[in-house]
Structures are given as C-alpha cells and as structure tokens.
Copies of this chain bind each other. A is one copy, B any other.
Amino acid sequence: MSILTDQNRSYYNLTELKTDSDNRSMASKTPVGFIGLGNMGRPMAKNLLRNGYPVIATDVFPESRKELQDLGAQVFDTPADVAEKADRILTMLPSSPNVIEVYTGANGILKKVKKGTLLIDSSTIDPAVSREMAVAAEKMGAVFMDAPVSGGVGAASLAKLTFMVGGPKEEYQAAQELLTCMGANVVYCGAVGTGQAAKICNNMLLAIGMIGTAETMNLGIRLGLDPKLLAQILNMSSGRCWSSDSYNPVPGVMEGVPSGNNYQGGFGTTLMAKDLGLAQSTATNTKTPVPLGSLAHQIYRVMCARGYANKDFSSVFQFLREEEGQ
C-alpha cells in the first residue's frame, strides 16, 4: 500500500507534472546501471527491463544479483564495474552510509565513472549527503540527482511510485525518461537535495497528522462520540487531514486500510521512525525548530521499543489507547 494513495490521481491533471512517455524511443536503448537490488530496487530494475532497457546491475548480496541476471540483466561485482559500462546509473540503498560507500568507497561508482554520466539516487537519505555526493560527482564530470520515492514494494512492482527529484533542471528530462518507467508521478523539486527535502517534509507532516488524528479520535471516543461520526465531522471541518479522511487509524471507521487489518501491511512504524530521524537530523543541522515533528519522532521511537516496530504506523492509535482490563 502506498502512502500516497488515491489523492495522487489528481497528479495526472497537473500539466506541469505530466510525464510524456510517448516521446521515448523504444528502440536501441543504451544500458542503464542499477545498484541496490533489495525489496524496492529489484522490482524497480525489473520495470526498466520491461521497458526495454538493458540493465547492468550489482548488489552486495550475490543472490540478489542472481535473480536479476536470470531476468536478463548483466551483473557485475562492484559499483565501479557498473560505472565503467553504463552512463546512466540508478542507486536504491538503505541509508546514508551505504550511499557514501557505493559512490565514494574504494570500489565505488566515482572510481570509474565516465564523464557526463547521469547518477540518480532513489535512496531516502539526509539531503546534506545528497549534496556531498553531487559535489563529488561533479569533480569527476558526472551529474548526481536525488530522486527518493513515495510508495512501497507494491507500488514499485506496479510502476506506481512517486519520485521527488532534485538536481540540475537541464538534466531533469533525461532523469524523467527513466523514472517514468518505474513510477506514476515524477515531481521536479529544485536543486540537488530538494527531492529528499520534499520527502522528509511530507513524511514528518504525515506523522504529526497521524498521531494527532489518533489522539483526537481516542479523546472523542472517550467523550462519548461515535468514531465514524467524529471522523465525518472532522473530515468536513478544519481538523481534516489525510490520516483522518484516507487512512483513519481507528478500526472500523474505514475499509481497506491497515487499521481494519490489525495494523498489518502499510508503512511500518520502524520506517516512519527512520524518516523522522532524518527529519530531526536535518532540522538540527539547519537549526530549524520542529517541536511537533520532534515529539512525533520520539513517540514512534518509543513504539519501536514497545513492540510496534513492524506494525503500520497508524497503530499509534492502539499504542495510546488504554489496555484491556486497565
């Protein structure tokens, strides 16, 4: 399930955001490098193959490489090897240290990158690291863009991801050509790092809205309001937010959301805690006060410590409710 759900549909009507896949020539495509074949990277790389791009891939785990190889990708041992063969490379990695290693490590991309190569990093990391990578790439004559995604494994498989892209405007079209093979929406955000910034900002506000909705619904129920009626009132009023109208955390209020399925599926608390940690670090580094974002981070961090790590992040409703029998 995607964090960005039906609401995204409106994207398609926004001319400036529209992608134009018709112009892409389907013949004689040059190979695309792909580094990081995890839960997200694998389906993304497959979608490149499906769109007719030869893929040159690597991953630290041989079995991940093997799977792509079986689907027709050419696989190599190191990022540097990939950089020798491809002049457009995507990376999809778990965290900042991995990105630093894959780009600037002993066998990193930048050891062998060709001049003019387009490097697109879809990892969710600190925007300051994105900017560092961009500087390092530029020294080698290459271009680095950040393009983190919204949407989970399902959206990756269905090529329904949303990409938020930061980097030089003049390279955006080239990036967009590849990203539209893997996502339904591609948004240009500005200079390098702003893709990360947009994702971090969205997820911080999302967390605040979700916890706020959970405590508000809980309070209303304690005060004698019917949860469905309360949700209806909020959604017609100024309390309305995505968590109240599209992903309500109270079991029984909405269908098709994790709260109706014992908080299985969806976007895990541990992932939200990670994104809030990035928001916190970024805010700390830029000396920006984020009082609610900071408290939201702490709440999800405590939840991770109290058995909610793998539940959907809307389980904060359950966390705040009184236990049975108390």
Contacts and interface: CB of A to CB of B under 8 A. Distances in A.
Interface string A198-217: 10111111101101110111
A279 interface: yes
Interface string A269-290: 0000100010111111111111
Interface string A224-235: 111001100110
A109 to B, nearest CB: 21
A225 B197 contact: yes
Given A193-B223, A224-B193, A290-B215, A7 B326 contact: no
A280 B284 contact: yes
Interface stretch (A23-31, A78-86, A170-178, A239-247): A239-247
Contacts of A326: 304-305, 307, 309
Contacts of A244: 205
Q: Is the interface of A mostly helix, strand, loop or mixed?
A: helix
Most buried by B among A150, A212, A286: A212
Copies in the complex: 4
A297 to B, nearest CB: 7
A200 to B, nearest CB: 8
A292 B289 contact: no
Given A194-B224, A201-B239, A287-B301, 11 more contacts: A8-B237, A11-B236, A190-B224, A201-B233, A211-B291, A218-B289, A238-B243, A281-B281, A304-B326, A305-B321, A305-B326
